[in-house]
Chains A and B, each alone.
Chain A
């Protein structure tokens, strides 16, 4: 995302103009735009005009620049599309104020997001979380393109997913019934070959990998491909790719060096955590946000295991811990999923922003916002979307009374 204009005022009001450049930027926009904000972007609207004299109607599609008061956001993770609906606040020759419109944000078309602030405004303004999200979103270094493709598989099951900086998108699930081994039957091997071929075809399609023989000389960078499975499935799949590259599709040879085989406990998507923790992958995707987040979640689990009272999770429990000052200087970490900030209820968002601000500014603890679209974020969501590593143990007893 490119920041074109930044007019955020001291009080938290103001606007920014941004240009989304890659699909993941839509995810950032999704996290930035909150119901109640003003969004100013180009739109295509079908306008129906009625000729005054004859009464005949004609409709045409007009490109307009509309400003809407955001009411609702709809994010399509598969296709990285963001639809923002709301009421139009500016008047144009074709629209009236108050009409509803859904803006589809487009890549490489700038939009302006304005957040009001203060008690009179509807939105929550540019609070600390929003500014943080904006920082995340604006790609200054341009080094965010590192992306990997992971195939998490087991016999008869494969998940193809794209791992980005902020999101992991499951692109395709391949499921095939594989007969078990039995004496004298070759069905198992046959079906497995078929399964590998289907997986490979699907993988190449999603990677938009050019398999034509002319592409041998092209030097497009090939993203790392992680093959993960329990047992030998991933290795066999790698062998299958080699075999195909050596026989029918020489262009695949370009892909081979970037294939990495990793171990995973199962072929289900949640094994991706394990994949991303493996040393090979960590070296490959050095210091991505994802790796950091995964590490954080592991630390939290570790803490919970070792000293149960020095870690807590769940909205009420964490709020309580923060209230007691346990998430403070000296190792207190608040882990929060950005899902909580996307709440359509402004008060809800304000509650979590206030908590974050308190931990960061008052208590002096660390705040980590995890992307809910990542495996680690999903793990956190399982815990209620919020967790905390505490500086001193808090007894369960009083907490339990609170919750009951």
Chain B
């Protein structure tokens, strides 16, 4: 091994001792080396042209030539002509402790790479002369020479304008970020050096060395005077981007080459110190000059600085090359330098970490700003027409949908064109008489079968009131849907088929059940539309018969006589609906038409100041803008855009993004209004029809068991029942029959009855399979086997 040991010496006498330690030469050898060195130096100086060589260069040469002075002198002379190459070669030695690769034979430095093509140029293909065959030695790939190691130290005082400009800029940026390291040593870093150091440090160390080793000054005679200036202090700190640095280097390299051409190559052959040596002396040469100097000028010799790169002490205290590049990049981009900013940021980070974490979310939160309206005062201010909901009930095929279709058509709530279209389409499938019903029966199955399946809402306006029709299905299988409709109603329109046979079957069927249901759901007023009177030729006797029977039944169901009114009408023809019938047979009827009857209804007050309760009627995709919408009627309380609402039983919160009342956008809504809420920040999986929307401040509780006071329509036993409350429809069972009660006083008649007889009032305990949002006083309906068995009030 290792010629590197020899090369790893400082040009400083003082450090020979250190070198010795490495060289493990014995004193005799050293003595001899000293002598030879002096000899060679003197010969070099004496020769023509005079050449100066650094001490270690000389010693290296001597080492190679086994202390043959003449050969060394020859070699060094030749070498000086390749000053730049040699500089590069010396840089390699900077990786001092780990010998990286052997130095290429310096006698043939002109073409460091072996080229096979070149070698075989004159030999025929596959016919290589035998003498050549054995001699092929592929040389290892050495770093390209020439760009290594920086500029010659005597690089003249002249600097191109561009270089000067670059230097000035660098200095300026260096002032801004004094802690940064220069970018210009990236070159050497890239090549072999472990890590760069600040230029200032290098300069400082250089100065110390200059001061501490005056003997060397003689070797640098040829250096321009300003190079020796006691305080070069050039802060050419990095602070430029990598690109800048590289560009500068390219410029400077070019310039240096130019200069080399101009000047005789053998002016200064002093080799720079190895990194190792610099490291050894590093402690002494720690920078003492950290302040940028005012003496620094644009005329500073950059070449000199490059030349001194190699003399840098290296203590690994500086930032890594990556950091340098990053710092340079960030500062060049005008970002705040990281280091000064680090402290305050750190504190802020610690404080804001929790907040940041909580803000982390996979989905983007939609923030809707609440206007913080006082909804109640807004409500009082707003001059709206009275809004009324009514439910249309009756036995299947009583003509509920057709009657309402007629009503809407006659009030021009639906245009003639649509109606004609329905008529055409209905006739096409042979159900021409259902055309009017199609106004409300929008479902494909409903139309195909001619049966209303689910409730449908539609609205129309009269001079005084906005009415919302809730058309409910009459078929007994869809009573759950009818219950949902009835829960939204202020009053009810009971449609009765007056035709022979149908009336009688209806009375046994859903006419009765529906009437009982709407009554038990709290509906006070009922208008009985005796429909299809045209089929019985407007027979007054028939009407009277129906009126008597139905009113008797309704009164037993709990309606007050003054709240019951009868209108004979014909839905298909439109008689006595919006207009008085022209049929002479109807002359006996002088009462109000259906619309007039509707208008006599008094508006109902709703619990607007109670906590918000809204049963979700439907969960659907409103539009692209509103991917999740719910509809329903607000049972109690109020809400406005931006409100955070809670949906029960899931307990998930959502934000009201926007809302519509009867299809028109508004900022707020109160109890009694039919609204569509467009929600954000909730997964649709948490929303089901029948769920309850409330505010988090007054949430509704989920219960799995409750006590209620019910009116039994059928025998009650502990058994499975379906529990209905509006859209809510859940399975459960009657757990206990607590007591039967007196209808009037509510006193306990009998504790723990075995069975509750129809028509009696009882207190029972209901157990549910799942938690359901219910609270007293809520009206519930219990059904079993397709029949309504009881209806009552939660306690």
Contact = CB atoms under 8 A, between A and B. Distances in A.
A160 B740 CA distance: 38
Contacts of A384: 718
Interface stretch (A130-138, A182-190, A334-342): A182-190
Given A382-B718, A382-B719, A308 B621 contact: no
A59 interface: no
B456 interface: yes
Contacts of A185: 620
A181 B720 contact: no
B619 interface: yes
A404 B784 CA distance: 30
Interface of B: 442-446, 449, 453-456, 475, 477-478, 480, 617-621, 684-685, 687-689, 715, 717-720, 722, 729, 731, 733-735, 751-752, 754-755, 783-787
Contacts of B478: 230-231
B731 A181 contact: no
Interface string A18-31: 00000000000000
A179 B722 contact: no
Contacts of A232: 445, 449, 453
Contacts of B752: 400, 403
A187 B621 contact: yes
Nearest to A232: B445
A268 B443 CA distance: 24
Nearest to B686: A177
B751 A400 contact: yes
Interface of A: 177, 179-185, 187-189, 230-232, 236, 263, 265-266, 268-271, 273-274, 301, 304-305, 308, 312-313, 317, 378-379, 382-384, 396, 400, 403-404
A384 B443 CA distance: 45
B620 A187 contact: yes
B454 A180 contact: yes
5 contacts: A181-B446, A183-B442, A265-B722, A270-B720, A378-B720
Contact of A265 (B444, B445, B455, B783): B783
A181 B442 contact: yes
A383 B720 CA distance: 11
Contact of A268 (B688, B718, B731, B735): B731
A376 B755 CA distance: 18
Given A231-B453, A403-B752, A182 B442 contact: yes
A191 B618 CA distance: 13
A230 B477 contact: yes
Contacts, number: 104
Contact of B618 (A179, A265, A273, A305): A179
A375 to B, nearest CB: 9
B651 to A, nearest CB: 17
B477 A304 contact: no
A265 B477 contact: yes
A122 B456 CA distance: 66
A177 B687 CA distance: 8
Contact of A305 (B445, B689, B715): B715
B715 A304 contact: yes
A379 B754 contact: no
Given A181-B442, A304-B755, A266 B480 contact: yes
A312 B785 CA distance: 22
Given A231-B475, A268-B722, A308-B754, A181 B621 contact: no
B784 to A, nearest CB: 8
Nearest to B446: A181
B449 A274 contact: no
A379 B617 CA distance: 32
A378 B719 CA distance: 9
A269 B731 contact: yes
B96 to A, nearest CB: 55
A303 B139 CA distance: 111
Given A181-B443, A181-B446, A271-B785, 7 more contacts: A184-B442, A230-B480, A265-B477, A265-B784, A274-B785, A312-B754, A383-B717
A265 B755 CA distance: 23
Of A231, A263, A304, A404, chain B has the most CB atoms within 10 Å of the CB of A231
A335 to B, nearest CB: 13
A185 B444 CA distance: 10
A153 to B, nearest CB: 12
Contact of B720 (A179, A184, A382, A403): A382
B718 A383 contact: yes
A268 B785 CA distance: 10
A188 to B, nearest CB: 6
Contact of B717 (A268, A301, A404): A301
A231 B477 contact: yes
Nearest to B715: A305
Q: Which 6 A-B pairs have the closest CB atoms?
A: A265-B786, A230-B477, A270-B720, A179-B620, A181-B443, A268-B731
Contacts of A312: 754
B620 A182 contact: yes
Given A179-B619, A185-B620, A382-B733, A396 B785 contact: no
Nearest to B618: A180
A313 B456 CA distance: 44
A304 B755 CA distance: 8
A1 to B, nearest CB: 31
Nearest to A301: B717
Given A187-B620, A231-B453, A308 B755 contact: yes
A376 to B, nearest CB: 11
Contacts of B785: 265, 271, 273-274
Contacts of B480: 230, 266
Q: Of A236, A270, A313, which is in contact with the most chain B CB atoms at under 10 Å from its CB?
A: A270
Given A177-B619, A185-B620, A232-B449, A304 B443 contact: no
Contacts of B445: 189, 232, 236
Given A185-B620, A231-B453, A231-B478, A180 B719 contact: no
B721 to A, nearest CB: 8
A312 B445 CA distance: 46
Contacts of A317: 754
A378 B620 CA distance: 37
A403 B783 CA distance: 29
Nearest to B478: A231
A319 B765 CA distance: 24
